[in-house]
Structure 1
Amino acid sequence: MFLFLFDYIRYRSQETGLPASVCVRVGDRLFNLHKYPLFSKSGYFNRELTDSNEVVLPQDFPGGPETFEMISLFVYGSSTLVDPFNVASLRCAAEFLEMTEEYTSGNLCERFDIYLNQVVLQSWEDTLIVLQKCQSLDPWAEELLIVSRCIESLAFMACMEILDPERRRDQSVVTLEALSAQRWSSEMVQEILTQDVWIKDLMALPFGFFKRVIGSLRRQGMKEKYVSPVVLFYANSTLFDENGAKEDVSCLLKGILDLLQIGEKGSRVIPVGFYFRLLSESLKLKLDKEYTLKLQNQISGALHMGRVEDFLLPESGIDDVASSIEMTTMESIFSTYVVFHLCPNNGTPSPYNSVVAELWDAYLTRIASDAKIHAKRFMELIELMPISCRQNHDNLYKALNIFLQVHTELSQDEKSMVCKYLNCQKLSNEVCIEAVQNELMPLRLIVQALFVQQLSTHKALKECSDSFRYAHCGDFSGSIPSSRFANSRSQNLVESPCFDVQDTRNQPLSFLLQNDSEKPEFCKKEYESTSFRIQTLEQQLMVLKRSIQLQNTSKKREQGSKKVDPVRPYGLEGRTMSKKRTPLGQVTSCIGTVNLASQRRYASRLLNVFRRFSLFGRAKAKKKPSVTGVWPKPM
C-alpha cells in the first residue's frame, strides 16, 4: 500500500509541477504529501498547516500509520478497498481529521457512515467483526456510536432470528427447555456449543460488550428463556473453561451475577446446578458477602429442582468437615428454605417440602462417613429439616447406617438417641427388611422394623387375597354380605396389587391365568396360598356332602321300614334315636343346626363355585398335581 501511495504522490507532483511540501509523522512513519488535498478536505490539517508544513499526529491516532496511509489514498482519489475489518478505524480516523461535509461534499465521514449502515449492520458476521475491532478504538468508537449501533443491530437480528418462522439458520435456537432433563455440567455446555448455534458467536466478545448485548436483548423484548442460556454459556466459556480467555475473574464473576435473572423467573430458566457452580467459585475467590448471599437465596428458592450431585461438598482431607465453609453454606441454604418456604405467609405449606427433605437426607449420606462428626452434631444436622416434612425415611436410614458404621464406639443408648427420628413406618419394604437384619441399629429400632414388616406382609396378603376373591369371582356375591363388599368388582380391580387393570371382569379364570408367568412373584405366592385354602375347603365340603347323603339315605330307609314293618329293628332304632330331633325336623350335626334341603343347596352352590376355581388348579397342574382329584357331580 505504501508503494501505491508513493506512486500517487509522484503522479501528483508531475501533474501539478509542485513537489510534496507537507511532512506528516504518524508513529514511526513519515509521509511526504501535498498541502492542497489535505488542506481542502480536512479541518484538522486546515488548522495545523496554516503556519507550518510539518505535522505530528498524536500516539492515540485511531488505527495508527496503516489507517492514515489509507486516508491519504482517499485524499488523492484512490478507490481503496473498504471492508468490515478496517471501516471502524477509517471512520474514527476521518472523524479525528475532521473530514466532514463542511469542507467538501461526499467527504470520508459520510461515505464510511453509509457503508456501516447499509452494508455492515445488515450482516450478523460483519457486525461482530466491526464490534471486535472497536476494542482498540476507544473512545472514538463509543463517541461515534459505532459500538452502540453494532450492539443494537446484533440484538435486533437475534430477536428476528427467533421470531422468523422460516429459521434462516440451519440450527434452531438453543434454550434451557431442551436441557431441563439433563444435569448441568461444563462438558454438556461445551458439547452444545460445538453445534452451529448463534449463541457461541457472542462468546468471543469482551464482557463489557457482551453485557450491553444482553441488556439490548431484554430491552427489545426477547424472552428470558432465550437470554439466560446466553449468559450461562458465556459464564461457562470464561469462568469454567480452562482454555477460555481469563480476565479479572472476580470482576467477571460479579458482572455475570449482576446479569443473571433473580427470583422465580430465574429459577425456571437457569439450572440449580449452575447456581451451585457459581457459588462454589464465589467461595473460592472469597467474593463479597453480598454476592454469596444473593446466590444462596436464589438456590434456596429452587432447591426442589436441585440434585445431590450439585451440592457443595467439603474438600477431601479437611480437618473439620462439620465446620467447613461448604457445610456451613449448605446449612444456611436449607435453613433459608425452612424459614421462607416451609410455611409461607399464606399459611399453606409448600408441596416441595418432602422433596427438599429427601435431598437433605441424601446430602447427609455424603458426609456421614466422616469420623470427626460426633453424634450431637449429626443430630443437629438431621433436625435442620423438620421431621414432619419427611414422607420417606429411606435416605435418612442410609445416612444413619453409614454414620453407625463409622462410629462403632457408640453405646446402645447413644445409638437409640441418634436414631430416634427414624420412623420404620415410612421406610420402603426393601429398606425395612434391611433394617430388621442390620445389627448396627439399636434393638428398639430393629423390633419396630420387624413389627412394621409383619404388618406390611399381612396387609399385602390380605389385599391380594381380597382382590383375587372378590374382583374376579362374582359367584361369591351370594354368600358374602353385600354391605361388606359393595361394588367390589369395580373397586378391587383398580386397587388390586396383583392384577393389571383391564377389562377382565367378564373373563373366565382360565383367561386370567394365561399370562400367569408374567405376574409378580408375590402374586404367585399368594396364588399358591389361596389355592391351598381352596383345596382344604373343597375337601371339607366333600365330607359335608357325603354326610348329607348318608343322612338322606338313612331317612329313606327309616320311612321304608315304617311301611313294611311297624316294629323297628334294634340297631336302626338305636341309630336314629341317637340323633337329636328338633320340632321343625332339623338335624343337629358338627356344623350346626341346618335344614337338610338347605344344606344340599348350599353345598351344591359352593361346589359350583369351587368348580370354577378348579380352572385355577388345572392351570397349575402342569407344575403341581391337584390334591383333590376328580370333581364329583353336583347333587
Structure 2
Amino acid sequence: MDSLSARSSPPPAATSPFSNPKPVELLKKVIFAWVQETGLPASICVRVHGKSFDLHRSPLISRSGYFKKALRASNAVELHQEFPGGPEAFEMAALFAYGSRLPLDPFNVAALRCAAELLEMTEDHGSGNLCEAADLYLNQVVLQSWDDTLIVLQTCHTLLPMAEELLIVSRCVESLAFMACMEILDPEQKRGRPVLPLRTFSDRPWDPEAVKELAGHDLWIKDLIALPFNFFARIIRSLRRQGMKEKYVSPVVVFYANKWVLSKKTHKFWEQEDGADHAANTNDKVSAILQAIVELLPIRSQDPDRNAEIVPVTFYFALLSMALSLNLSDGIRVNLQHCVACLLHLARVDDFLLPENRVLEDVSFSRELKTMEEIVTIRVAFKSAENAEVVAKLWDLYLCRVAGDPKLGTDRFMQLIHTVPVADRETHDHLYKAINAYLSAHPRLCNEDKARLCSSISCQKLSQEACIQAVLDELMPLRLIIQALFVQQLHTQRALKDCSESFRYMQCGVFSGSIPSSTCQLPKSQSPYDPEETTPVPLEDHLVQRSEHSEVEYESTRFRMQALEQELASLKHSLRRRNPFGQVSDCIGSLRWSSQRKYTNRMLKVFRRMSMLGKSKSKIKQRASASGSLACRSKSLNEMYDC
C-alpha cells in the first residue's frame, strides 16, 4: 500500500477513462494480422455511439455471450447508446476478444469491467475472460494503492449505476476508508490532536478561503474532499464504521462543506460552467450538498462542548446563514438551530446572524433576527443554569446592534428583551446600552414607552460606570435616574455599616483585652514600638490613640453625609416643580436644555461624592463608631425619595 503522507502531489484527474490512443492502433494491427493469417475479411459491423467497427465473427462469439446471440440473425449490431465507456471501451473489449494483451490501467479498468458485463464476457464463454481479468486487476493492483483506487472511484462517477451493481464503488470506498484509518493509526505520525487545527477558527469569523488553505495539511483529506458527494458520504460512513474517532472524521466533513458549500470561488466556477441558468443551477447544487452535509455532522452529540473542540460553532453559524440564503427546508434549519443553541455559550456576538444587505431588508423583519430569536429560545428551553449569564450577555450585545433599526417597534423590541429571562442577566450594563441605542434611534418615542422599556433595567445590577452614564443620559426617565442614585447610596450605606461593625469590634477588644492577634496586626508605619527608642509603646495605649483619632474623622464623615442629604433634598424639590404648562415632569428629557444640563451636572456631582464615600471603606473601616444614626438617615432618605 502506498504511503499517503509521502506523496507530494494528488493523483491526476480522471477526466476521461481512455486518454491513451494506443488501443486504437493496436486493434487495427490485430485485425490486419488476423486477415493475413486466416485470409477471411471482416464480415461483422458493430456500431457504438455512431462509430463503426469492422470485425470478424469468430473472435466475438468465442468470448461474448451477447454477440453469440445477436449475430445469429444479422451481421450488423448496434450497441446501446449508454454503452459504458463508449467506443474506447469497446475497442479494448474487441482487442481482448482477438487474444491480444490489454493495456489495463486505473483509468480504463472500471469502464472495461462494465463493458465486459454487458457483452457477457464471463467464464461461461472462455476461461480467463475479460470480467475475471478486470476483477483480478482491481483486487490485486488498484485496491492496494491509494492513488489508483482514487482514480478508479472518480471514473465510476460516469459509469453509474452499473459500477455500483458490480461492487466496484463499494470496493473502492472500503479500501480508501481502510487506508485512511491506517494513515491515522500509523505510529510514526503520533497523532494526539485532531487532523486539522479547526480550533483557530473558534475565536474569529469563519473564512472559507483561509480554511481551504488548511485542507492541504493532510493529503488524504485533500483527495477525499475532491470526490463527488455521493462517494464522499459513503467514505465518511465507512470511516466511522471502521472505528475512526470523531475528532478525525468531523474535520473532513467540515472541509468538504467549506469547499463546496461556503466557498464563493466554487460558486463562481459552477456559474461559469452552467451557462444561462447558472445562478439557479448553482443554488440547486449547493442546496443538495448542504442538506446532505447536515446529516453527516454530529449535530445531536451528547457532549456539545467536546464537539465544539472539533467543530467550532462559527462553522455552524456559516452553514445556517447559507441555509437561510438558499431558503432550505425548515427541517434543515431546525437541526442547525439546535446545534447552534447547544454551543451558543461558546460563540461571539460577531458570529450572530445579521442581514447582508440592510438597505433592501430591514433588520426587524429579517429572517436572520427571527432565527437568532428562535436559537436563544431553544437555549432557554434547556432550563440549564450553566452558562446562562454568558448567553444573556451575548443576546444583549446582539440587541445593541439591532436596536438601531428605526422601523423596530417598541413592542417587538420588548419581546426581544424578554427572550432571555431576567434572572439570567448577571449584569444589566449591556441591556442598558441596548435600550439607550433604541431610544437614540427613536427620538419621538413617548414617555410611556420610554418608561416601559426602562422598567426592564434593574439599577441594582448596573455597574458604577453604567450608573454614571444613566444619570447623564438625557433620554432616560427621571425614575431611572433617581433609582440609580439611590442604589449607589445603598452601596455607601452598606459600606458604612461594615465599617461601623469593624470599629465597634475593635473598641470592644481594647477594653476587654481579648482582641485576637490576627485582628490587631498593625502596619509597619503604625507599629506600637518606636523605631527610634528602645522603650516599647503599650499596645492598649496605641489602640486608644487610634480610637480618638477615628472619632474626629467620623465627625467629618457625618457632616459630609448631612451635606449630601441637603443637596439631594434640594435636587428633588427642584425637579418636582411644575413646568410652565402646569404639568409635573417625570422625565429629565422633558425639561428645557439649560435646565437639563443644570440638573444632570448636580446629579453627577452628588453621585460622585456618594461613590467616593463608598470607596472610602478601607479608610473608614477603623474610624466609624456610630453608624446607627447614619443608617437611620440613609433609611429616611430612601423613603423620602422612593419612586
Displacement, 1:321? 3.5
Looking at structure 1, the residues matched to 90 and 458 of structure 2 have their Cα atoms a distance apart, in angstroms, of: 83
Counterpart in the other structure of 2:368 = 326
Q: Are 2:478 and 1:443 aligned?
A: yes
Aligned equivalent of 2:585: none
* Change in 2 beyond 3 A, CA 1:417/1:109: same
Match of 1:419 in 2: 454
Which 10-residue stretch deviates more, 224-233 or 262-271?
Answer: 262-271
- Provide the C-alpha distance between the structure 1 equivalents of 2:167 and 2:200, rounded to a whole number of angstroms: 37
Cross-structure match for 1:371:
406
Match of 2:170 in 1: 148
Q: Which moved further from structure 2: 315-324 or 126-135?
A: 315-324
Q: Could you tell me which residue of structure 2 aligns to residue 202 of structure 1?
A: 224
Q: Secondary structure at the match of 2:456?
A: coil
Q: 1:404 corresponds to which letter in structure 2?
A: L
Q: 1:240 offset after TM fit, Å?
A: 1.8
Task: Rate the CA distance shift 1:41–1:403 in 2: closer, same or farther, 3 A.
Answer: same
TM-score, with length taken from structure 2: 0.68
- 1:249 and 2:286 aligned: yes
CA distance in 2, matches of 1:128, 1:482: 90
Q: Which stretch has the larger CA shift, 435-444 or 305-314? A: 435-444
* Number of positions where the alignment pairs a residue of Structure 1 with one of Structure 2: 498
Match of 2:377 in 1: 335
Distance in 1, Cα, partners of 2:508 & 2:149? 82
Assess if the C-alpha contact under 8 Å between 2:109 and 2:138 holds in 1. Answer: yes
Do the aligned residues in 1 keep the contact of 2:195 with 2:251 (CA within 8 Å)?
no
Is 2:346 the partner of 1:294?
A: no
Whether the 8 Å CA contact 1:175–1:226 is kept in 2: the answer is no
**Residues 1:309 and 2:331 aligned together:** no
More off after superposition, 110-119 vs 20-29: 20-29
Q: Which has the higher contact order (CA 8 A, sep 6+)?
A: 2
Q: 1:607 to 1:337 in 2, by over 3 A?
A: closer
Task: Tell me the distance in 2 between the aligned counterparts of 1:7 and 1:453.
Answer: 102
Aligned position for 1:395: 430
- 1:271-297 C-alpha deviation (Å, 9 max, x unpaired): 333333333333333222232233323
**Contact 2:195–2:218 (CA under 8 A) maintained in structure 1:** no
Shift of 1:397: 1.7
**Residues 1:485 and 1:179: Cα distance change in structure 2 (over 3 Å):** farther
Matched, 1:359 2:391: no
Partner of 1:313, secondary structure, is coil
Secondary structure class of the residue paired with 2:244 = coil
How big is the shift at 1:137? 1.0
Q: Give per-residue Cα distances to partners, 1:507-561, cap 9 Å, x unaligned.
A: x96xxxxxxxxxxxxxxxxxxxxx9xx79x99xxxxxx9xxxxxxxxxxxxxxxx
Structure 1 residues 461 and 50: alpha-carbon distance in aligned structure 2, compared to 1, 3 A threshold: farther
The aligned counterpart of 1:119 is: 141
Q: Which residue of 2 aligns with 1:91?
A: 113
Decide whether aligned partners of structure 1 residues 605 and 274 sit closer, same or farther in structure 2, where only a CA change above 3 A counts. Answer: closer
Secondary structure of 1:102's counterpart equals helix
Using the alignment, how far apart are the partners of 1:213 and 1:323 within structure 2?
Answer: 42
Report the alpha carbon displacement of residue 52 of structure 1 after superposing the two structures with TM. 3.2
Matches within 5 A, 1:96-245: 96-167=118-189, 173-174=195-196, 176=198, 179-244=201-266, 245=270
Amino acid in structure 2 at the alignment position of 1:333: I
Contact 2:233 2:296 (C-alpha < 8 Å) held by counterparts = yes
Q: Secondary structure at the match of 2:124?
A: coil
Root-mean-square deviation (Å): 4.0
Distance across 1 between alignment mates of 2:513 and 2:213? 64
Q: Secondary structure at the match of 1:243?
A: helix
Deviation at 1:85, TM superposition (A): 0.9
- Bigger drift between 5-14 and 84-93 goes to 5-14
For the residue of structure 2 that corresponds to 1:55, the secondary structure is: strand
Give the counterpart of 2:58 among 25, 36, 44: 36
- Unaligned regions of 5+ residues in structure 2, if any? 1-21, 271-281, 547-643
CA deviations 1:122-142 (Å, max 9, x no partner) are: 222221211111111122211
Q: Distance in 2 between matches of 1:122 and 1:290?
A: 41
* Residue type of the alignment partner of 1:327: L
Structure 1 equivalent of residue 556 of structure 2: none
Q: What percentage of residue pairs aligned between the two structures are identical?
A: 53
Does the residue aligned with 1:264 lie in a helix, a strand or coil? coil
Residues 1:165 and 1:482: Cα distance change in structure 2 (over 3 Å) = farther
